[in-house]
């Protein structure tokens, strides 16, 4: 397996994002199917697994912990706090961003229990709670490092200035932001800032929430709870425009001798050595397809045509709704 570096950890060049085994894209698969995907990843040699307290309101961590426990010391296990399920007055769990020190400690301890481990290798602040100074949240997380509950710290969906402020409090090992051909916000400043500071850049949604797998022909078929229903790029008008990008994209994939999903992942791996993509899937076959992208080699001229075809100017629609955009700190294009 090809490898890359995240702080002190040597990991497979392509990791596994575990979110959609329990969360986000409609009704999740049965636990048995999630276990099959995780075991297939282990069998394939994957050493980087990414989960969060939010995913399935803890169910994803329980699944990951149960399957990975016998292999724990051979893996780099990542989770996130500061965004979790909190019961409302009726006892229904609601998604809440909370970066207060006491909450982060509680989130971490809950995650350790669900993951059945005594330490989390890389612990992210899932969202910066803008009511709490980033220095205060990261300071609280640094105490978790001192206590041996986590080994290293990360941030998710943050801008370059926030990265610098946090890094001044405690070394940041990784930043996890969305990055793909059709989401280029990281290229404004975060990618360069991470490279300058020696921080790994973990790219989530690297195949554009399934779009670059050539797997989203009909948005009307989305489940009622599929988060893509709230994303402007998948509304009917924007999606129709974006679908026009796929025929030439498929042609480039054929020219490269790979599948559309592999082309998206190979493009990321060619962009910079500090980038580690973490695609997610509920299918063992798709998992194997994704991992094989590490072997794909792209000519510079083909990368140039790919960059010109799909970018922030050619993709229709914002990546998030107005409310979701207010919850993140990533740079945006004018």
Q: Can you tell me the distance from the alpha carbon of 117 to that of 66, in angstroms, rounded to the nearest whole number?
A: 10
> Ramachandran region of residue 98, left (φ > 0), alpha (ψ -120 to 50) or beta?
beta
| Catalytic residue list contains 123 | no
Whole-number CA gyration radius for the chain: 19
DSSP-derived secondary structure for 218-251? -GGGS-TTBGGGG-GGGSHHHHHHHHTTHHHHHH
On the 0-12 / 13-18 / 19+ scale of CB atoms within 10 A, 162 is buried
The token pair that represents 81 in the structure block: 């706090």
6 with 200: CB under 8 angstroms? yes
Give me the catalytic one of 25, 55, 179, 320. Answer: 55
Catalytic residues: 55
């Amino acid at each position: 397996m090809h490898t890359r570096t995240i702080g002190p950890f040597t990991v497979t060049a392509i990791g596994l994002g575990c979110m959609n085994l329990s969360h986000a894209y409609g009704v999740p698969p049965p636990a048995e199917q999630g276990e099959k995907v995780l075991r297939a990843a282990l069998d394939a040699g994957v050493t980087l697994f990414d989960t969060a307290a939010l995913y399935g309101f803890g169910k994803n961590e329980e699944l990951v912990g149960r399957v990975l426990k016998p292999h724990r010391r051979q893996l780099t296990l990542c989770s996130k706090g500061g965004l979790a399920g909190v019961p409302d007055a009726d006892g229904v769990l609601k998604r809440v961003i909370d970066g207060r020190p006491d909450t982060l400690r509680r989130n971490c301890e809950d995650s350790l229990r669900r993951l059945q481990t005594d330490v989390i290798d890389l612990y992210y602040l899932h969202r910066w709670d803008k009511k709490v100074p980033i220095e205060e949240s990261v300071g609280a997380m640094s105490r978790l490092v001192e206590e041996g509950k986590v080994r290293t710290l990360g941030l998710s969906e943050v801008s370059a200035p926030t990265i610098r402020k946090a890094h001044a409090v405690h070394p940041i090992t990784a930043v996890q932001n969305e990055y793909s051909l059709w989401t280029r916000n990281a290229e404004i400043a975060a990618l360069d800032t991470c490279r300058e500071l020696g921080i790994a850049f973990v790219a989530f949604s690297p195949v554009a929430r399934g779009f670059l797998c050539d797997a989203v022909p009909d948005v009307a078929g989305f489940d009622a709870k599929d988060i893509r229903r709230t994303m402007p790029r998948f509304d009917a008008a924007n999606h129709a425009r974006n679908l026009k990008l796929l025929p030439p994209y498929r042609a480039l994939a054929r020219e490269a001798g790979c599948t559309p999903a592999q082309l998206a992942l190979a493009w990321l791996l060619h962009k910079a050595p500090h980038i580690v993509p973490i695609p997610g899937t509920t299918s063992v076959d798709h998992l194997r397809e994704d991992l094989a992208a590490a072997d794909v080699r792209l000519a510079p001229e083909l990368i140039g045509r790919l960059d010109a075809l799909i970018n922030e100017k050619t993709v229709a629609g914002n990546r998030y709704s107005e409310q979701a955009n207010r919850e993140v700190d990533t740079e945006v294009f004018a």
